[in-house]
Chain A
Amino acid sequence: MALSQSWRRTLESLCLSFGAILAGILLFGVFCALAGTNPFAVYGSIWKAAFGTWSTFQNTLVRAAPLMLSALCTALPARLGLVIIGNEGALVVGGLAAVSMGLAMGTAFPPFIVQVGMAIAGMIMGGIWIGAAGWLRHYRGVNETISSLLLNYVAIALLNHLVGGPLRDPSSLNKPSTFPLAEVNMLGSIPGTRVHWGLLYGLIACIIAYFLMQRTTFGFAARTAGGNIRAAKIAGLPVGKLTVMICFLAGTCAGLAGMVEVAAVQGAANESLNVGYGYGGILVAFAARHNPLAAVLISLLVGGILASGGILQRAHGLPDATVLIFQGLVFLMVLYSDSLYGKFGVFKEKPIMIEPPAPPPPSPGQEPVMTV
């Protein structure tokens, strides 16, 4: 019985999440029709560009990798009851830190060591970024949503300043960039594909995050504090430390996404870092209902949407930014679907009182003390 009831809840999440995405797709079709294109042709193109062939699916995978990591930046603090949207900022500073570390280490160390150093630098910097938002939240009462959002602008300004000045490669004329990382230090591709190893980072991070929250004492404490801070305090849980630690961990994931972007795709830090993986990650986290494993699947979907930007421009004459409208509509629908939980009778738990499971044989001192 307990099994079938939790099964209903899972089905509700699945139906509502996918229903919301479907509704977003339909609305996007209306938008395309208004823009003077055939929505079905657009759907076809998106499908082809995102999932149609192995070759195009690899593009999707490449984009899904940073999305998975960046989604964790919202999904982890959400379990603590915090709404963090500083993914973009943490990703940018993570990328900056990774490039700086990569350039500093240069070719003096074996590439593997340099890559580890870049990853650690990116993670620490991203962690500090979001950890700061968590610290402000707990110890200074600053709304974490606003502070993390504003930190995005700080991060982007920092990036623009560094690539335009102190770290600028004079040979990057049109698009100011840092000096490029040495070719040997770049993250390679998974053999037989064009997909870089960042995808594996994302998968592993999501799995670790899931186990951390569901199966460890740390996750239990965090979920308790997120569910009811008064109950957490009465159990003596260090709510402040938990807040800062969860936010730090969340930031490390986004920072790692930044490292993956510079070390596997861009080769240097420039404005291409903030192309929307951070905001896409927020969408992924909400659509996945902050479940790290579901975030993997949703990342593929959103990655596919992002990958289809080019073809919309080439084949349908729609502006490049059309995919952002698509993304925005889907996000809106996902947020709306949140209000539909519990509204459909099909998913309601049947309030059948089952008999308590056969009690264990009463050991001394364990006899029933109340009977009603």
Chain B
Amino acid sequence: MTSTATTTPTIQIERPPDLQVTGMSKHFGTLVALDNVSMHLKPGSFHALLGENGAGKSTLVKCIMGFYAPTSGAVLIDNNPVKIANPRDAHHYGIGMVYQHFTSVPAMTVAENLVLSRYESKALINWKDEMEQLQVFMDSSPFRVPIDVPIAQLAAGQKQKLEILKQLYLQSRILILDEPTSVLTPAEADEVLGLLREQVTEGKLSVLMISHKFREVMAFADEITVLRKGRFAGSGLVKDLTVPEMAEMMMGEKKEPTPVNKVADLEKAAVLDVRNLCANKDNGVEAVSSVNLVVHSGEIVGIAGISGNGQRELVEVLAGQREPTSGEIYVNGEPYGATRAEMFKHKVFALPEEPLKNACVPHMSVAENMALHTFDRPPQAKGIMLILNAIRQTAIGLIHQFSVKTPSPETPVGNLSGGNVQRAVLARELSADHIKLLIAANPCFGLDFNAVDFIHTEIVDARNRGVAVLLVSEDLDELLKLSDRILVISGGKFVYDSPIDEADFAAIGTSMAGH
């Protein structure tokens, strides 16, 4: 009944160890990422680690995992100080981590990645035995991923499930999860966390979860530890705390979600008109089958759906990253092929998911990345010559305006933290004067509250100015909050379409599930 029982023989009854961190500090040069933080993960408990972007949560868990060598401080397992120099040592003590970024080999199959993740290495792999064992493991695991599919073809949600499965496969007793649900739908998130919760309640696992979502913390966690700016900011039992109290610990002040103010009765004109659009996945299987979609000015059209139902391919076609197999796209009544000239003419901008992978050149500087749309026209260019100073000045303005934390405009954007990369892309896409069409896909993936509120406000502001917004999100709450009209995509087709005030939540749920 548990996933771990059937794979390799091991001590099944062993309770998860007790994990304590005392006085942990980590300095990068003169930057203090973590300052004298202590925490205690009791055996068989579900512990949430809260904090804003850059609060030091990832640094703390990476120190526990031996990924970083802490500047000072100790890790105690069952009250014995232990030395964890690398993730292999951590695995030795039964600690496994699911990282924020996926760590599977894209070209290899799920089965190969699972076998690869094992620490003991054999010279020969008996694939027949392995496949049988993997199938048994997969059948008994809390959630399933097809084992013979290459990782590259999995959607983000499935990849995240695989990352968790990998740790279960490795028989980790303490699971560290770095924002595990940021790519999952609320239903998927509840399912995954619920199953982990069961394992915790049965005393088989301890979980340390980095999260931004209070809803999940309230529903699943026993205890929280809060970090703020690298320092310990508080801890306590979830049952003794309220959301505003937790938010206050995180931000040092009470935080109400900013309500969105929508202007009603805007003049409507069709901006984006998609007709009979078809597109394939990378493996040639049809992902989007003959969809029709109209987005009017001053309207936010939200597309909900479980990841892997064609929304990624649809966004890629609209953003110019994928060739459609058939169908037409019109913007402002003119055929649109996502060329640079058309993007400029119709003022089309995009906020793709995973911005470092989709919208940035990691080794080019922050300034250059911010100039991606504007480098070839005045004032950043004169004829064919770049005006480097103009590019730099624009970047300095945007860095300040959008609070991007970077050592300098010349720093390669790949050296920034995830949240700051996102801000840099936001700065580029939302700073243009007259956006007409905005295509956003999971724009708030893994961001803190301030940033999420900011993005939501910006999107609604844009809508109120008459921008047509297509918002694809795996976060249903976000869609319900922002959209004027909500569509559900399932199996590459729109299966539900309703204005937001007539939207029926139950019907949305069943449509997403493909019924």
Contacts and interface: CB of A to CB of B under 8 A. Distances in A.
A341 B362 CA distance: 17
Interface in A1-52: 1-2, 5-6
B227 to A, nearest CB: 14
A191 interface: no
Which of B320, B363, B411 gathers the greatest number of chain A CB atoms within 10 Å?
A: B320
Given A351-B29, A356-B400, A230 B358 contact: yes
Contacts of A359: 396-397, 400
A224 B407 CA distance: 22
Contact of A351 (B359, B368, B403, B407): B407
Contacts of B276: none
A236 B320 contact: yes
B454 A369 contact: yes
Contacts of A368: 400-401, 403
Interface residues of B, number: 59
Given A233-B320, A351-B28, A368-B401, A220 B386 contact: yes
Interface in A266-307: none
B405 interface: yes
Interface stretch (A130-138, A181-189, A210-218, A244-252): A210-218
Given A1-B408, A217-B376, A352-B31, A366 B397 contact: yes
Contact of A231 (B54, B372, B401): B372
Nearest to A217: B376
Interface in A215-267: 215-221, 223-224, 227-228, 230-238
B338 interface: yes
Interface residues of A, number: 40
A367 B431 CA distance: 12
- Give the secondary structure class of A's interface: loop
B407 A228 contact: no
B361 A236 contact: no
Nearest to A227: B361
Contacts of B319: 233-234
Interface string A334-372: 000000000000000011111011011000001111111
A238 to B, nearest CB: 7
B351 to A, nearest CB: 10
B410 A2 contact: yes
Given A224-B361, A353-B407, A216 B386 contact: yes
Contact of B361 (A216, A228, A354): A228
A354 B376 contact: no
Contact of A217 (B54, B386, B393): B386
Contacts of B410: 2, 5-6
B317 to A, nearest CB: 11
A93 to B, nearest CB: 29
Given A1-B408, A233-B319, A236-B338, A372 B31 contact: no
A48 to B, nearest CB: 42
B321 interface: yes
B403 A234 contact: no
A218 B376 CA distance: 8
A370 B373 contact: no
B471 interface: no
B125 interface: no
Nearest to B342: A236
B402 A234 contact: no
Contact of A1 (B397, B402, B407, B423): B407
Contact of B358 (A215, A234, A238): A234
Given A218-B384, A236-B339, A352 B364 contact: no
B352 A234 contact: yes
B218 interface: no
Query: A-B pairs with the 5 shortest C-beta distances?
Result: A236-B340, A227-B361, A2-B408, A217-B376, A359-B400
Given A217-B385, A220-B371, A236-B340, 10 more contacts: A215-B388, A216-B385, A217-B376, A230-B358, A230-B359, A234-B358, A236-B320, A353-B30, A356-B406, A371-B403
21 contacts: A2-B409, A6-B410, A215-B386, A217-B376, A220-B375, A221-B375, A221-B376, A231-B358, A231-B360, A233-B338, A234-B321, A236-B320, A236-B339, A237-B340, A238-B339, A359-B397, A366-B401, A368-B401, A370-B454, A371-B450, A372-B53
